[in-house]
Amino acid sequence: MQVIGICRFSWPGLGGFQVEHESLDERIAWLYAPARMEERFRSFETMTLPALKAQTDDDFTFLVVIGDSLPARWRDRLEALVQDMPQAVIQPRPPGPHRQVMQEAINSVRRPDGEPCLQFRMDDDDAVARVFVERLREAARDLQALARKHRFLAIDFNRGYIARPGPGGLSVAPTTEPCTTAALGLMTRPAARLSIMNFAHHKLAQIMPTVSFPDEDMLVRGHGDFNDSRQSPRVRPVRLTPLDPEGEAHFRATFNIDADHVRRVYSDA
């Protein structure tokens, strides 16, 4: 079964954001603001990519969708970060309806092999456990009888952490929130053209069978100043605690996230 992960790296789409803008030009200006881009690159480098590069099952595609208007300096930096990652595919896309464009992007890298397709989505400050792709594929094999009865089946690894990187390392809080974006998979029938991006992640359990695995740390949800989901004044604050040496060792072993690397990258933040 083909496994595809998708990440919108500051792609200026129409829809798909909780932050509203008066025009597309305003959205692009907000997305490409130097302070915001610096934060996104640092979290992508220290959390998202180390976890994916260390997957115990490395047979997957990681699709990074960017705007065709992304300035050259940012694209060059992104290409440098993934140059040693054969699974990574950077795909420029012009602005368009969010769900439609993401569906087209995922389908453009699908193989017509007659097998179900496994898909997952990530923000550029999320991470998954080193065993995520392996566990996702194992779960899909175990669930094939159920999947044959449904066009879509959600596979939800819902245990992990909310984490904020910074000059002091990582501050975290445990979470078991269902259907969080990171470590949430979608199993689709071979002929299904809708993708994981066609559905609101927090509503998946309301519209399709969903199997949850809460027994293993599998996700890291990034927490930063520019998170789209944190811009509303009604957002609940999260109490984060700095990792102790034992916690830092757990993050290195489980997610390949190195707190010393975080401290170096954020030293001037």
pLDDT of residue 13: 82
**Residue 38's pLDDT band (cuts 50, 70, 90):** very high
In degrees rounded to 5, what are phi and psi of residue 230?
-110, 10
**Residue 16's pLDDT band (cuts 50, 70, 90):** low
Q: Could you report the per-residue pLDDT of 213-250, keeping only the tens digit for each?
A: 999 999 999 997 655 444 445 667 789 999 999 999 99
Q: Percentage of the chain surpassing pLDDT 70?
A: 93
Q: Could you report the per-residue pLDDT of 71-100, keeping only the tens digit for each?
A: 999 999 999 999 999 999 999 999 999 999
- Does residue 122 carry a pLDDT above 80? yes
pLDDT of residue 101: 96
Type and span of the H or E element at 262: helix 259-265
Q: What integer best gives the mean pLDDT of the chain?
A: 93
Task: Give the mean model confidence (pLDDT) for residues 9-36.
Answer: 83
The domain spans of the chain are 2-265
**Residue 103's pLDDT band (cuts 50, 70, 90):** very high
- The token pair that represents 263 in the structure block: 């401290």
- Answer whether 0.95 is exceeded by the pTM: no
- Say which DSSP state 14 is in: B
**Residue 18's pLDDT band (cuts 50, 70, 90):** low
- The token pair that represents 194 in the structure block: 């809708």
Which residues are CB-neighbours of 43 under 8 A, at least 6 positions away? 124, 125, 165, 222, 224
- Does residue 10 carry a pLDDT above 60? yes
Q: Could you report the per-residue pLDDT of 129-182, keeping only the tens digit for each?
A: 999 999 999 999 999 999 999 999 999 999 999 999 999 999 999 999 999 999
CATH of 2-265, one of 3.90.550, 2.60.40, 3.40.50, 1.10.3470: 3.90.550
**Residue 206's pLDDT band (cuts 50, 70, 90):** very high
Q: 113 versus 256: which is more confidently predicted?
A: 256
Question: Helices 34-43 and 24-31 meet at what angle, rounded to 10?
Answer: 60
- CA 164, 169, 173, 174 torsion-angle sign: positive
pLDDT of residue 243: 98
